[in-house]
Amino acid sequence: MTRQLNLRVNDEFAERLERLSRKMGRSMAAVLEAVGSPAIEAAEADLQFEAEALAAWEDYELTGNHVSAETVETLFDEALARARTIAEKQRG
């Protein structure tokens, strides 16, 4: 299923999108979807990470329980791996 969206963008963005879509031989919608999907995934992952971090902080404030530095490093390594995966998808 598809939906039509009306977006207001500045002239420079619109011109660049039109130029890119012509060069790629794809519709502007297809280009936006290809470029936008990884960006949306990255933003969603960032929001999820922030929500988890906030929940962990609130838990710490309530209980005093904490995680080890090793656990934090593992969490950051996992977040970095997710970010790299998304970046690779963006590059195609």
Rounded CA-CA distance 34/15 in Å is 17
**Sequence-distant (≥ 6) Cβ neighbours of residue 66 within 8 angstroms:** 60
pTM more than 0.85: no
**32-62 confidence digits (pLDDT tens):** 999 999 999 999 999 999 999 999 899 999 9
Radius of gyration of the chain measured on its C-alpha atoms: 19
Going from the C-alpha of 21 to that of each of 57, 80, 82, the distances in angstroms are 45, 31, 28
User: What pLDDT band is residue 65 in, cutting at 50, 70 and 90?
Assistant: confident
**3-25 confidence digits (pLDDT tens):** 998 999 999 999 999 999 999 99
